[in-house]
Amino acid sequence: MDLTRLTDLVDPVDLTVLAPDPVLLLCAVVLDGLLGDPVYRWHPVRLMGHTLTGVERLLRRAGLDGYAGGCALFLVLSGFWVVVSAALALILHGLHPALNWIYQVFVIYSMVALRDLCRHGMAIDRAGDLEGARRAVSMLVGRDTSAMDAAACRRAGMESLSENAVDGFIAPLFWYAVLGLPGLVLFKVISTMDSMVGYRTPRYVAFGWCGARLDDLFNLLPARLTYLLMAVVAFLLPGYSGRKALAAGWRHHALIPGPNSGWSEAAAAGAVQRRLIGPIYQDGKLITEIWIGDEGDPEGGQAGDLRRMCVLVVATCLLAAVLATVALLVVAS
SS3 319: helix
Strand partners, 143: none
Strand partners, 282: 285
What pLDDT is attached to residue 2? Answer: 54
Residue 288, amino acid? T
What pLDDT is attached to residue 138? Answer: 84
- pTM higher than the cut 0.85: yes
CA 212 to chain centre: 14
Beta strand spans in the chain (E):
276-277, 280-282, 285-288, 291-292
CB under 8 A, 24+ apart: contacts of 232-239: 232/319, 233/271, 233/312, 233/315, 233/316, 233/319, 234/270, 234/271, 234/312, 236/315, 237/311, 237/312, 237/315, 239/273, 239/308
What pLDDT is attached to residue 283? Answer: 75
What pLDDT is attached to residue 318? Answer: 97
pLDDT in tens, the chain (333 residues): 454 554 444 457 788 999 999 999 999 999 999 999 888 888 999 999 999 999 999 999 999 999 999 999 999 999 999 999 999 999 999 999 999 999 999 999 999 999 999 998 899 988 888 998 899 988 888 777 888 899 999 999 999 999 999 999 999 999 999 999 999 999 999 999 999 999 989 999 999 999 999 999 999 999 999 999 999 999 999 999 999 999 999 999 999 989 999 999 999 999 999 999 988 887 778 888 899 999 999 999 998 999 999 999 999 999 999 999 999 999 988
